């Protein structure tokens, strides 16, 4: 039986949930959103990477590929656990409701988490402490390095690890042992935050699965240079003796950028990873698949070939294509994990070799409807869809459908769309929803912004824009006031929910 059944769902990062503490979290609104999905017959909640963010607040540049973001911890549930009191939260600032102001939010949450840890540390019963310590032991292979890394980063005023004192930056064993002894309490607090995040997220996942809703995660192919992953595994990356990258990731010049994109992520030593049976990647997959049911690999094409840029270059122009690990990598992963619950992000300039790698392992690719409207051979047009793919109205990197229609669609594209559909498009959101729902693709995803018919003010990310991304939040009233009531009907009409299949038209129609 296929891992992917015919279904539909919503893309929404948890930071975008409502709540009084300045950022969405894993408290009541996470459960309310699951209930809303179930009530509208949706079977998927897709999220962005859940790791701890750093400078720029991007979930695609995190401090760890294994850890969770402590800012998502529900403070209200810490009251329920007895580690905070209602009085501790009574003076919460008047945070914006429609966006995340990360600086003040992080400062406020860190202070409350520190207070809660002090209560846990001083007043928890033996069973609670044992549960925490058992979890730490189970996750020690990544947790010990991560907690030490975050502690040292804080003690070094947030600077990148290559700017720390050299014995710590280059992991001198004596220096690390001394740091662990001197900062044991701080390290333990960061371990506790990860335990609390994992406990709260696991509860949300269990609740969602119990409602018939699967969670889709997101796994960027590359990791941030300033991360515990690179600091603790320097031999697996192309770095110089001081830990600086010698070559970095990006994409070459194309239609969208004359100088390409210089991402700056260090590149993997795939030769050494292969010698070790891709052990680091196997651990990474196991970790993420404990938190979600399926995972999208961002920049999948990098497994076939990746653009290598000398680190001293200021743009991505002077790079070269280097072969990736290819089929051997996925063969090993499949041997370890079995059938692969992986979606391949195969957008951009994709070669025949990338498509063959994707199809060899029967991985679903992606089709984005906003990209479809120029010529009949466009692979994103519905008549070119295949069953084994995931269709999106747009992704987190796109404008909202309403913003795209108002600000990015030219007259030629609108005319082509009208010709293709056989009628003038008056409601682009409704149109893309129907097109995606009736596609032969086994999965259709819409960002919540599209379900709410919001404009470009609700855009999550604009690639290349240096600031102001990842901040959008919706307010609680919008789900009832603006959500399209036809969502559940279309799910039934195009048979994207198995338990709806026996309904008669009179029971399901609008």
Query: Annotated catalytic residue: which of 28, 313, 397, 427?
Result: 397
Do the bridges between strand 305-310 and strand 320-323 make them parallel or antiparallel, or are there none, so unpaired? antiparallel
**93/84 Cα distance (integer angstroms):** 17
Annotation says 339 is catalytic: no
Question: Which one from 57, 218, 345, 346 is the annotated catalytic residue?
Answer: 345
Nearest Cα to Cα of residue 238 among 260, 218, 222:
222
Tokens of 482: 């603006």
Give the C-alpha separation, 245 to 123, whole Å. 45
493 vs 98, 241, 420, CA distance in Å? 33, 60, 22
**How far is residue 488's CA from residue 272's CA, in Å, rounded to a whole number?**
49
Q: How many residues does the chain have?
A: 510
In whole angstroms, give the CA distance from residue 447 to residue 45.
Answer: 10
Q: Strand, helix or coil at 342?
A: strand
Q: Are 73 and 83 in contact (CB under 8 A)?
A: no
Query: What is the C-alpha separation between 348 and 351, in angstroms, rounded?
Result: 10
Which two three-digit tokens encode residue 29?
Answer: 């609104």
CA–CA dist 227, 70 (Å, integer): 16
Active site residue 359: no
Please tell me which residue in 41, 229, 298, 346 is annotated as part of the active site.
Answer: 298
Q: Which residues contact 347 (CB under 8 A, 6 or more apart)?
A: 366, 368, 371
Q: How far is CA 34 from CA 26, 210, 214, 472, in A?
A: 11, 10, 10, 19
Q: Which helix (H) or strand (E) holds 281?
A: helix 279-291
Closest CA to 281 of 294, 290, 268, 296: 268
406 a catalytic residue: no
Annotated catalytic sites, by residue? 298, 345, 397
């Amino acid at each position: 039986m296929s891992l992917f059944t015919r279904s539909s769902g919503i893309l929404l990062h948890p930071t975008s949930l409502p709540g009084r503490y300045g950022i969405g979290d894993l408290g009541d609104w996470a459960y309310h959103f699951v209930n809303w999905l179930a009530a509208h017959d949706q079977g998927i909640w897709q999220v962005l990477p859940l790791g701890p963010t750093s400078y720029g607040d991007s979930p695609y540049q995190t401090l760890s590929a294994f850890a969770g973001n402590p800012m998502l911890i529900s403070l209200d549930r810490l009251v329920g656990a007895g580690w905070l009191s209602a009085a501790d939260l009574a003076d919460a600032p008047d945070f914006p409701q429609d966006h995340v102001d990360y600086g003040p939010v992080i400062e406020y949450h860190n202070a409350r988490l520190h207070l809660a840890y002090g209560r846990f540390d001083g007043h928890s019963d033996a069973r609670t402490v044992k549960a925490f310590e058992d979890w730490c032991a189970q996750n020690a292979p990544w947790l010990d390095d991560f907690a030490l890394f975050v502690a040292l980063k804080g003690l070094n005023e947030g600077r990148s690890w290559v700017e720390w004192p050299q014995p710590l930056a280059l992991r001198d064993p004596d220096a690390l042992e001394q740091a662990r002894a001197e900062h044991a309490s701080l390290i333990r607090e960061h371990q506790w935050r990860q335990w609390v995040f994992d406990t709260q997220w696991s509860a949300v996942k269990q609740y969602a699965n119990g409602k018939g809703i699967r969670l889709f995660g997101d796994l960027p192919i590359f990791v941030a240079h300033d991360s515990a992953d690179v600091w603790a595994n320097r031999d697996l990356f192309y770095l110089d003796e001081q830990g600086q990258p010698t070559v970095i990731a990006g994409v070459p010049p194309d239609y969208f950028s004359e100088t390409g994109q210089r991402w700056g992520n260090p590149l993997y030593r795939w030769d050494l990873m292969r010698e070790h049976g891709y052990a680091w990647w196997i651990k990474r997959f196991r970790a993420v698949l404990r938190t979600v049911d399926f995972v999208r690999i961002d920049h999948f094409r990098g497994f076939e070939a990746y653009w290598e840029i000398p680190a001293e270059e200021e743009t991505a122009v002077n790079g070269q294509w280097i072969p990736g690990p290819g089929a051997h990598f996925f063969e090993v992963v499949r041997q370890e994990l079995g059938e692969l619950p992986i979606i391949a992000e195969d957008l951009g300039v994709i070669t025949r070799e990338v498509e063959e790698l994707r199809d060899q392992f029967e991985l679903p690719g992606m089709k984005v409807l906003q990209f479809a409207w120029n010529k009949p051979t466009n692979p994103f047009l519905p008549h070119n869809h295949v069953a084994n793919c995931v269709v999106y109205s747009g992704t987190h990197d796109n404008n909202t459908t309403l913003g795209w229609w108002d600000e990015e669609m030219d007259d030629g594209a609108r005319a082509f769309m009208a010709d293709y559909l056989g009628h003038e498009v008056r409601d682009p959101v409704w149109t893309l929803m129907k097109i995606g729902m009736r596609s032969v693709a086994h999965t259709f995803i819409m960002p919540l912004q599209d379900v709410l018919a919001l404009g470009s003010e609700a855009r999550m990310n604009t690639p290349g824009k240096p600031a102001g991304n990842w901040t959008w939040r919706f307010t609680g009233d919008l789900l009832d006031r603006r959500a399209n009531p036809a969502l559940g009907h279309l799910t039934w009409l195009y048979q994207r929910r198995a338990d709806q299949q026996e309904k008669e038209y009179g029971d399901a129609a609008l």
